[in-house]
Amino acid sequence: MDVQLLVVVDCPNEERAAVILRQALDEVGLPEVQFSTRVVADQAEAEAVGFVGSPTILIDGCDPFAAPARTAGLACRLYLDDAGLSGVPPLAPLRQALKRATAHR
């Protein structure tokens, strides 16, 4: 399984996103899976990888939180969770996305 955390330079949510991603991997029984962090440096790179904001998590190249019609760009990203808007993906849907990815292997 290839898991990446995509961020822009100096993303204020990078550390929290990394903690949540590690927690989700551990909780779904994937403690051996490591993830890489990639800094998306320019618009061309953002478009090439489908980066719609920082932080973005890709699981086997797919963004489990992708919304239709979002355009690629170097920006901060907001996620909707039970408490409202957050700068990091919500834990429960992230766990579900990881479980779906392992089921398709």
pLDDT digits (tens, 9 = 90+) for 24-73: 999 999 999 999 999 999 999 999 998 999 999 999 999 999 988 889 99
Note the pTM of the prediction, 2 decimals: 0.93
Contacts of 73 (CB under 8 A, 6+ apart): 43, 46, 51, 52, 53
**Extents of the domains making up the chain:** 3-103
Q: How high does pLDDT run on average in the chain?
A: 94
Inform me whether the pLDDT recorded for 105 exceeds 80: no
- Tell me which H or E stretch contains 21: helix 14-27
